[in-house]
A and B are shown apart, each in its own frame.
Chain A
Amino acid sequence: MFHKILIANRGEIAMRVIRTCREMGIATVAVYSDADKKAAHRFCADESVHIGSSEPARSYLNIERIIAAAQETGAMAIHPGYGFLSENADFAAACEAAGVIFIGPPSKVIRALGDKTVARRMMVDSGVPVTPGMHRAETDPVRLAEAAEQLGYPVLIKAAGGGGGKGMRIVASSDQLPEACRSAAREAAAAFGNADIYIEKYIARPRHVEIQVLADAHGNVIHLLERECSIQRRHQKIIEESPSTALTPILRDKMGQAAVAAARAAGYVNAGTVEFLLDENGGFYFLEVNTRLQVEHPVTEMITGIDIVRHQIEIAAGRKLNLSQSDIAGRGHAIECRIYAEDPENDFFPSPGKILFLQEPTGPGIRNDGGVYSGATVPLEYDPILSKLIVYAENRELAVKRMRDALSRYVILGIKTPILFLMDVMDSETFKQGDTHTDFIPRHFANWKPTPVNPHGACLAFAVHELTGKKRSEAFSTAKGQFPTPWETLGNWR
């Protein structure tokens, strides 16, 4: 087993990985950029290495610098987390070349699956159903237009090089196609260093259901059931749960088997996720394989009782899976809400700034995967995820209530978050009924506004704070962050 691991990431996921390492008795190395000198992940590792300036390209995406940091500190393996270099085949290859173990699949598997068009062909060949669309990336606008015409509008532009909604655009008609392609390619180039895009048929009102798989280097592949991730904004998930309300035991079994077949077809090793679109008739289509730990992995951990990060590390160290498919059973229900620095009243636009006060809820069945603290500044250079709130209960109805209550006790002051929005989702009949599709937010929560709070109570609290609090001028100097606060700026957005 490794005696030391470097975590090439930041925020909540770096802290999540460090926790398991501590349990395993593995020393940890954090890396940080200029913007993250005071970031929480840096302080919970055994040691930390400064890897460059705030721009991702000069720090968290700097392959040479990160591998050098591992070598300087004597780390034998690197956990990439999600985002940044986690699905970068060049990074995995560079680790392999440098003799540092990359905790993830082999670089050639990442490369093959990372090109979504190659992955689609691979799945077609192994009998896994895929959505109709292009099998090759394209840059020629004429050919892209032809492909879109053939599939019929609306179509979906996707980045060949990555996921997470970056570089993705729904296009309703041909006149929108050229600008949408240009902007998608630009976003893809910025996010993944690869501007290739392709076009798929847009499936209306699908559900997004994914299967977690674990595969060792000895040919054993199992799946850890599904996650329902249909509720998304900006093509990014915000609420995930397991089990999915849409799966029957038979469908679950079929999708699980398809995911295992997909992993085998790709020669997959380590933890991965096979994403599917599920239509209203129970038809499912391969979307992509995420060759990394997913943001939403905790819901699977809660219902299966399995620490996925521990298995990632053991698999990377060459161990055989000590689990077989018959060991895997889901119990109860888990829901995750992602807490971002963003404004749900303004199209979920990022809201960086200083967290003046933070108090996370605790209690039975509540898990916080957090990466910030009271007084932390959320930098504008990175994905604005702050934390994930996960609840577990014996059934879905109780899990929804538990999440609703936990959210109401989640206090984050100073930056905008979607907490009130998430509470309203938990209160909605459509969510309670499990009627979750990818159009959930635009269909049920377009132009959402928070329910006004008890204004008299707030005024009384204001008065008490004035009477008991510090002098205003002092409070001002501590409250002023590095950036203009969202209260000063976002009100005028649009």
Chain B
Amino acid sequence: MEYNLRISDADIRMEIDPHRENNSLTAVIGEQEYRVSYEAVSENRIYMVVDDGKEKIGMDAYVAQTADGKVIHINGGVCMVSDNDDSSRQQRKKNGAAGLPDRVTPPMPSLVISVLVKTGDTVEKGQGVVVVSAMKMETTLMAPYAGKVRSVNVAEGDKAAPGDILVDIERAETYKN
């Protein structure tokens, strides 16, 4: 069984050979081979004894499945491990990448407190354009790149959801002469 996993920014390829009958598996990650015996303590908890050929280490791991992969708490550290082969996730990432990072949109449902720019304004990258409030905390949404404000789609007091484009900015390159 082959897995192509992603942790933080690293891709890791792992080959496993499960032996379900005795709760164990062998795994190869890079050059390293591991013999693992495990116990699924509960739905979210796994205990593993990992033998890397030199020593045996006990690992207490807590795992929860999210839409983007598994969140794993292991020996005091926490990370997200996602499966690069999971096509539904791939698709969602792609959509996200096309939409979110280069637009002015709140990261969670928010209330618009004030709009700092108007249509036609020239903005610098990182300039504050809209102030929103969520969980009683104010945060300024910044222009993702330099450009000209094409339209302002919200007003003070409006509610905004992730994905809503609050201020549409035309990139500077496109109108440079």
- Pairwise interchain contact B135-A464, C-beta atoms closer than 8 A: no
- Pairwise interchain contact B136-A476, C-beta atoms closer than 8 A: no
**Given A383-B136, A420-B77, are A460 and B62 also a contact pair (CB < 8 Å)?**
no
- Pairwise interchain contact A488-B14, C-beta atoms closer than 8 A: no
A382: which of B5, B107, B135 is its contact (CB, 8 Å)?
B135
Interface size on B, residues (CB 8 A): 65
- Pairwise interchain contact A454-B77, C-beta atoms closer than 8 A: yes
Residues of B within 8 A of A458 (CB): 7, 61, 72, 74, 79, 81
**Given A380-B109, A463-B14, are A485 and B66 also a contact pair (CB < 8 Å)?**
yes
Which A residues from 381 to 411 make CB contacts under 8 A with B? 381-384, 407-409, 411
Which A residues from 131 to 190 make CB contacts under 8 A with B? 166, 183, 186-187, 190
Shortest distance between the CB of B83 and any CB in chain A (Å): 8
B174 at the interface (CB under 8 A from A): no
**Given A460-B50, A467-B20, are A450 and B14 also a contact pair (CB < 8 Å)?**
no
B120 at the interface (CB under 8 A from A): no
- Pairwise interchain contact B101-A492, C-beta atoms closer than 8 A: yes
**Given A454-B75, A461-B61, are A492 and B96 also a contact pair (CB < 8 Å)?**
yes
Which A residues from 431 to 459 make CB contacts under 8 A with B? 450-459
A43 at the interface (CB under 8 A from B): no
- Pairwise interchain contact B109-A457, C-beta atoms closer than 8 A: no
B138 at the interface (CB under 8 A from A): yes
**Given A356-B71, A468-B46, are A494 and B142 also a contact pair (CB < 8 Å)?**
yes
Most buried by B among A350, A423, A451, A458: A458
- Chain B residue nearest to A461 (CB atoms) is B61
Which A residues from 469 to 490 make CB contacts under 8 A with B? 469-470, 472, 475-476, 479-480, 483-485, 487-490
- Pairwise interchain contact A352-B135, C-beta atoms closer than 8 A: yes
- Pairwise interchain contact B44-A357, C-beta atoms closer than 8 A: yes
Residues of B within 8 A of A350 (CB): 108, 134-135, 137
CA separation between A191 and B135, bound complex, in Å?
11
- Pairwise interchain contact A465-B68, C-beta atoms closer than 8 A: no
- Pairwise interchain contact B64-A414, C-beta atoms closer than 8 A: yes
A234 at the interface (CB under 8 A from B): yes
- Pairwise interchain contact B40-A464, C-beta atoms closer than 8 A: yes
Map CB proximity to B onto A95-110 as digits: 1 under 8 Å, 0 otherwise: 0000000000000000
CA separation between A267 and B75, bound complex, in Å?
52
Which B residues from 43 to 82 make CB contacts under 8 A with A? 43-44, 46, 48, 50, 59, 61-81
- Pairwise interchain contact B135-A456, C-beta atoms closer than 8 A: no
CA separation between A469 and B42, bound complex, in Å?
9
Shortest distance between the CB of A366 and any CB in chain B (Å): 15
- Pairwise interchain contact B36-A470, C-beta atoms closer than 8 A: no
Which B residues from 119 to 161 make CB contacts under 8 A with A? 131, 133-139, 142
CA separation between A480 and B68, bound complex, in Å?
10
A2 at the interface (CB under 8 A from B): no
CA separation between A487 and B6, bound complex, in Å?
14
Shortest distance between the CB of A231 and any CB in chain B (Å): 19
Residues of A within 8 A of B46 (CB): 461, 464-465, 468
**Given A384-B135, A463-B27, are A468 and B38 also a contact pair (CB < 8 Å)?**
yes
B107: which of A463, A479, A490 is its contact (CB, 8 Å)?
A490
Shortest distance between the CB of B87 and any CB in chain A (Å): 12
CA separation between A313 and B20, bound complex, in Å?
58
- Pairwise interchain contact B34-A460, C-beta atoms closer than 8 A: yes
Residues of A within 8 A of B117 (CB): none
- Pairwise interchain contact B25-A485, C-beta atoms closer than 8 A: no
A373 at the interface (CB under 8 A from B): no
B63: which of A191, A349, A419, A465 is its contact (CB, 8 Å)?
A465
B22 at the interface (CB under 8 A from A): no
Most buried by A among B38, B101, B142: B38
Residues of B within 8 A of A454 (CB): 74-75, 77
- Pairwise interchain contact A352-B108, C-beta atoms closer than 8 A: yes
- Pairwise interchain contact B65-A469, C-beta atoms closer than 8 A: yes
Most buried by B among A186, A349, A357, A384: A357
- Pairwise interchain contact B67-A487, C-beta atoms closer than 8 A: yes
- Pairwise interchain contact A459-B133, C-beta atoms closer than 8 A: no
Residues of B within 8 A of A484 (CB): 108, 162
The residues of A with any CB-CB pair to B shorter than 8 Å are 56, 166, 183, 186-187, 190-191, 234, 349-350, 352, 356-357, 359, 380-384, 407-409, 411, 413-414, 419-420, 423, 450-465, 467-470, 472, 475-476, 479-480, 483-485, 487-490, 492-494
- Please provide the 10 A-B residue pairs with the shortest distance between their CB atoms, ordered closest to farther: A453-B77, A408-B76, A356-B64, A475-B65, A468-B40, A461-B61, A413-B64, A350-B135, A492-B100, A357-B44
